A and B are shown apart, each in its own frame.
Chain A
Amino acid sequence: MKLRTLRVDRIACDGHGLCADLLPERIRLDEWGYPIIDPAPVGGEVAAHARRAVAACPKLALRLERVG
C-alpha cells in the first residue's frame, strides 16, 4: 500500500479552514485560522476524508503526498 501524508503549501494557503471541518481527525486550526496538520501517514477510512479535504481547498493548497 502506498503511504501518503497531508502537506500544505504555506504560501498558497490563506486560512479558509474548510480542511479542518472536513478532516478534524488530522487537521486543527491555529488561533489565526491556519491548519496544523498531523504529519502521520493517512490510510484506511481517513484516506477518503482526506481526499475530500484536498479537493475542497479553494486555494488548492492542500495535497496528499507520497511518503519518502
Chain B
Amino acid sequence: MEAATAVRREHAAPPAGVPRLLAGVRAHGGRMSFREHTRWYGDPAVGLSARGLIHEVDQAGLRGRGGGAFSTGRKLAAVASARSRPVVVVNGMEGEPGSGKDRHLLAVAPHLVLDGAELAAAELGASRLIVAVRRDAVDAVRSLSRALAERGKGWFGLDPVEVAEGPPRYVGGEETALVHWLAGGPIRPLGVPPRPFERGVSGKPTLVLNVETAAHLAQIARYGAGWFRSVGPAHAPGTALVTIAGAVGRRGIAEVGLGASLEAVVRASEPRSEPAMLLAGGCFGGWLPWSAAAALTCDPDALRLAGAGLGAGILVVAPEQTCVLAETARIAAYLAREGAGQCGPCTHGVRAVAGDLQVLCSPQANGLVTDRLRRRISVVEGRGACGLPDGLVRLVSSALERFPDHVAAHERGHLCRQSAVVPLPPARALSDADWR
C-alpha cells in the first residue's frame, strides 16, 4: 500500500474541478501518447479499492453518457451475474448528428478510454473486448489504432483489443443494432428482449459501454467514488462532455460539471446573438425557449422533466430568427431517412410526421394539419423496436407545446425564412450497403 501511494505521488493529482477527462489533454496541449498517459495517471489498477470495480462504480453513481443515462454499476452487475464469460463492447458509434464528443475523446485521450474498457473487461473476466467506432470518424480510428500499437499487450494480459469500424447510421449506436452488426448483420435494432446484457455478441452476455462512460470508469477506478461524486448532483454526479452547435462563436466539445447552469455553459460558448431557444439532447431531446433553458441545469433528469433531455450531450443554440417548426421538420426528414425500415408504425409514421411538419412550414398550413400531426405523434409513440419514434414524439411535442404562438402564426399562413441551425448530414437515399 505504501509503495502504491509513493508511486501515485509522482503522477498528477486528481483534478479538483472541471475538466476531468480532458484535464491531462489540456495540460499536454493535445493527444496523450501512452507514455504521457502513464506518466499522468500511472498504472490504471493502482488506487482501485479492495471491494472492486463494480462496487466502486456503483458507489460513484456513474450513469451512461451515450444518451440513456442508465446506471453503469447496475449494468456491470447484471453482466457479472451471468453464467458465461461476457463480451465487453465500447460503443463509439455516436449516431447523433452533430455529436462529436466520443470521437474527440478517442482522438485525444484514447488510453483513458482503453483503461476503462480493459478494467471492465478484466473485472468481468471477459473473453473479448471490442471497440466499435464510426468508420467516418477518421481521427478517432487513427488515434485508436495508434493507441493499441503504443500499449502493446495491454495492462491486463487480455487478448488483443478488437477494433470494429462501423457504418455511420443514426441508430448505429443503439445497443441491439450494434450487437446485430458485430454478429455480421446490418446495423439495425433487434426487437427486445433479450437485452445485450443477457444475450449479445456471439450469444454471450455483453456489456456495452459508451466511450465517454469507459473513460469515467477509468477515473473512478483511479480516484475513487468519493472523488467522482464531488462534482454534480447526487442523482447524476460527475462531469459530461457536451457538443455545442448552432449560433455560437465556439462550437465544439466542452466538458461540463453535471448540475452546472445551462445558461453559463451556453454563454461560455460565446453566442453570436442573444439565444432565442435551445435544442437540448439532439434528435431525441427537445426544444426549450431560452428563458426556460436558462433556468435549468445540465441534469439529465431535470431536462427530461422539462420535455427535453441531455441525451449524448448535444446542445444547439438557436438565435431569434430560427423557425422551430422548420428545424423540427428538417430533423424529422432526417430521421425518416435514417429509420431502419423495420417497424411499420415507425417507417410510415415518421415519414407522415415529417410530411405534416413540412406542410406546416408551407402556404398550405392550417390548424387541421396541426391536429393531424398531434394525432399522429400520439399514435406513433411507443410503437418501434427502438426508441427512434419516441424520440421524435418528444421533439415534436416540445416544439408544439413550448412555442404555441409560433405554431398559431404558421397556421394563419405566416411563412418563416429558411432556417438551418441544427447540424444535419446532407440528404441522401440509403442503400443496403449503408447498413453494413
B191, CB-defined interface residue at 8 Å: yes
CB pair B385–A11 under 8 Å, yes or no, is: yes
Question: Across the two chains, which residue of chain B brings its CB closest to A12?
Answer: B191
Residues of chain A within 8 A of B352, CB atoms compared: 31-32
A57, CB-defined interface residue at 8 Å: no
A12 to B191, CA, bound (A): 9
Quick one: which of B190, B191, B344, B385 contacts A34, CB cutoff 8 A? B344
Q: Which of B190, B345, B349, B352 has the most CB of A within 10 A?
A: B345
Question: Across the two chains, which residue of chain A brings its CB closest to B376?
Answer: A31
Question: Across the two chains, which residue of chain A brings its CB closest to B189?
Answer: A11
CB pair A36–B379 under 8 Å, yes or no, is: yes
- Mark contacts of B371-408 with chain A using CB atoms, 8 A cut-off: 1 yes-contact digit, 0 otherwise: 00000000100011100000000000000000000000
Q: B interface, how many residues as a size bin?
A: 10 to 19
How many whole Å from A27's CB to the nearest CB in chain B?
13
A30 to B385, CA, bound (A): 17
A30 to B376, CA, bound (A): 9
CB pair A32–B345 under 8 Å, yes or no, is: yes
Mark out the residues of chain B between 142 and 198 whose CB falls within 8 Å of any chain A CB in the assembled complex.
190-191
Quick one: which of B191, B379, B384 contacts A30, CB cutoff 8 A? B379
Given A10-B385, A11-B342, is A32 in contact with B191 using a C-beta cutoff of 8 Å?
A: no
A9 to B352, CA, bound (A): 22
How many whole Å from B268's CB to the nearest CB in chain A?
42
Given A30-B379, A34-B383, A36-B379, is A11 in contact with B191 using a C-beta cutoff of 8 Å?
A: yes
Quick one: which of B343, B348, B379 contacts A10, CB cutoff 8 A? B343
Residues of chain A within 8 A of B348, CB atoms compared: 31-32, 34
CB pair B349–A10 under 8 Å, yes or no, is: no
How many whole Å from A4's CB to the nearest CB in chain B?
17
Give the number of chain A interface residues (Cβ < 8 Å).
Answer: 13
Q: Which of A13, A14, A31 has the most CB of B within 10 A?
A: A31
CB pair A10–B345 under 8 Å, yes or no, is: yes
CB pair A11–B345 under 8 Å, yes or no, is: no
A36 to B378, CA, bound (A): 11
How many whole Å from A32's CB to the nearest CB in chain B?
4
A32 to B345, CA, bound (A): 7
Residues of chain A within 8 A of B342, CB atoms compared: 10-11
Quick one: which of A9, A12, A30 contacts B345, CB cutoff 8 A? A30
A10 to B384, CA, bound (A): 6
Residues of chain B within 8 A of A14, CB atoms compared: 344
A50 to B342, CA, bound (A): 25
A58, CB-defined interface residue at 8 Å: no
Question: Across the two chains, which residue of chain B brings its CB closest to A13?
Answer: B344
- List 18 A–B pairs whose Cβ atoms lie within 8 Å, in order of A's numbering: A9-B191, A10-B342, A10-B346, A10-B383, A10-B385, A11-B343, A11-B385, A12-B191, A13-B343, A14-B344, A30-B345, A30-B349, A30-B379, A31-B348, A31-B352, A32-B348, A34-B345, A36-B383
Q: Which 10 A-B pairs have the closest CB atoms?
A: A32-B348, A10-B343, A34-B344, A11-B342, A34-B345, A10-B385, A11-B191, A15-B344, A11-B385, A30-B379
Known: A11-B385, A34-B348. 7 other contacts (CB 8 A): A9-B191, A10-B346, A10-B385, A11-B343, A30-B345, A32-B345, A36-B379
